[in-house]
Amino acid sequence: MRKIAVLTSGGDAPGMNACIRAIVLTAEHFGVQIIGYKHGYNGLLDQEYLPLKARNVANIIQRGGTILRSARCSSFKTEESAKLAAKNLNALGIEALLIIGGDGSFRGACHLAKHWQGQVIGLPGTIDNDIYGTDATIGYHTAIETALDSIDKVRDTADAFERIFLVEVMGRHAGFIGLSAALASASDQVLVPELCTDLNTEVDNIVSHLQAAMNKRGNCSYIIVTAENLWPGGVTNLAQTLHEKTKLECRPVILGHVQRGGSPVSQDRLLATKMGAYAVEQAIAGKTNIMVAEQNNQLLCLPIETSWQQRKTLDPYLVKIQQEFFDITKQAEHVV
Ligand code: F6P
């Protein structure tokens, strides 16, 4: 193995830089050259790349975003684009391509593999944690911390005004950030796609929880964490509906892209470092069409399709705690 290329694709995630650094340093250790493609798959089509050496990755482990930049590349679905990418990779003598991104980026890797003889290896990097087969994705833990920090702050003003707040978090179509941030911030309720099967009854459910909270605690603040892409008309609409039903003040807060930024927490830096080094080792070992993953602190390789062929589920014990033990409508009336 003489030359490996790396790119970051889709939504950036804190820890991507740590991963690039690990890839470069590990490759140098084995005497392998690294090329970094810029702007995701677009760089592969436009031959926008730069050689990466140890000096290029110094002082980046603590930085959010990605030094290679990222992009979504809808045109990469066509046969022509995969063939052009293959031609460009061959022209540079690349033997393996490492893709740090989410399942959309992994689908792109599979598409490329149909037209290219080289090896493709995916490294799960997304704040959403919605990649099946790995316990966590690079960036997920930092996103929870960022959401948590904001919810703690919302709690201060919510308490001062005894208001209801609806805090919308990212996650695409998954509730990993929502559930974790809700539990860690002691939020009163959480609305995520995995747990809200019937939106028609959800408003009544929220109202009955609010009433139970008022009955038990008197006037109080109440924080509901809700996933993006869940509520028709968004969280502002839901806040309005709740206000109309309860006559209580209800404020929406959309956390948005702040959750993608910031310095990665140690869990993400370590996960990114392990996965980056491991991916280089797997490339040198000749593996292809795989994603690297970590399960129970153990690194492993899985077929890359695994990432989207099965839906990753929320931690059932966290769900039980939030939905049963901590549900105000299910708490015992008298505790002796
Ligand atoms: O996949 C990461 C993510 O931040 C999702 O949580 C969110 O739904 C999406 O990307 C937003 O994408 P964009 O920045 O392209 O609007």
- Average pLDDT of adjacent 10-residue blocks, the chain of 336 residues: 98 98 98 98 98 98 98 93 98 98 97 98 98 98 98 97 96 98 97 92 94 90 97 94 93 98 98 99 98 98 96 98 93 70
What does 192-235 look like in DSSP terms, one character per residue?
A: -TTT---HHHHHHHHHHHHHHHHHHHSS--EEEEEETT-STTHH
Q: Which atom of ligand 1 is nearest to the CA of 130?
A: 1
Query: Which residues' Cβ are closer than 6 Å to ligand 1?
Result: 11, 102, 126-128, 170-172, 228, 260
Looking at residue 199, what is its pLDDT?
86
Q: How far is the CA of 11 from the centre of ligand 1 (A)?
A: 5
Q: Which atom of ligand 1 is nearest to the CA of 128?
A: 6
Query: Do residues 76 and 98 make contact, with C-beta atoms less than 8 angstroms apart?
Result: no
Q: Which amino acid is at 208?
A: S
User: pTM higher than 0.95 for the full model?
Assistant: yes
Looking at residue 333, what is its pLDDT?
72
The rounded distance, in Å, linking the Cα atoms of 51 and 56 is: 9
Domains of the chain, with CATH numbers? 3-139+264-309 (3.40.50.450), 141-260+316-325 (3.40.50.460)
- Residue with CA nearest ligand 1 atom 14: 11
Considering 128, 130, 188, 268, which one is annotated as catalytic?
128
Query: Do residues 148 and 181 make contact, with C-beta atoms less than 8 angstroms apart?
Result: yes
Query: Do residues 104 and 308 make contact, with C-beta atoms less than 8 angstroms apart?
Result: no
- Residue with CA nearest ligand 1 atom 9: 172
Q: How many CA within 13 A on the CB side of residue 179?
A: 23
Looking at residue 179, what is its pLDDT?
98
Q: Which of 207, 195, 68 is nearest to 125 (CA)?
A: 68
For 6, phi then psi, to 5°, come to -135, 145
Q: Which helix (H) or strand (E) holds 158?
A: helix 140-161
Mutation pick for ligand 1 pocket among 169, 172, 176, 228 (CB with most ligand atoms within 8 Å)? 172
Looking at residue 312, what is its pLDDT?
98
76: DSSP letter: G
The rounded distance, in Å, linking the Cα atoms of 336 and 306 is: 50
Query: Do residues 18 and 111 make contact, with C-beta atoms less than 8 angstroms apart?
Result: no
Q: Which of 144, 227, 149, 229 is nearest to 191 (CA)?
A: 227
Q: How far is the CA of 31 from the centre of ligand 1 (A)?
A: 36
| Residue 204 known to be catalytic | no
The rounded distance, in Å, linking the Cα atoms of 155 and 162 is: 10
Work out whether strand 119-124 and strand 290-295 pair parallel, antiparallel, or are unpaired: parallel
- Residue with CA nearest ligand 1 atom 15: 11
Q: Which of 52, 40, 18, 17 is nearest to 106 (CA)?
A: 40
Query: Do residues 138 and 64 make contact, with C-beta atoms less than 8 angstroms apart?
Result: no
What's the full length of the chain, in residues?
A: 336
Q: Which helix (H) or strand (E) holds 79?
A: helix 79-91
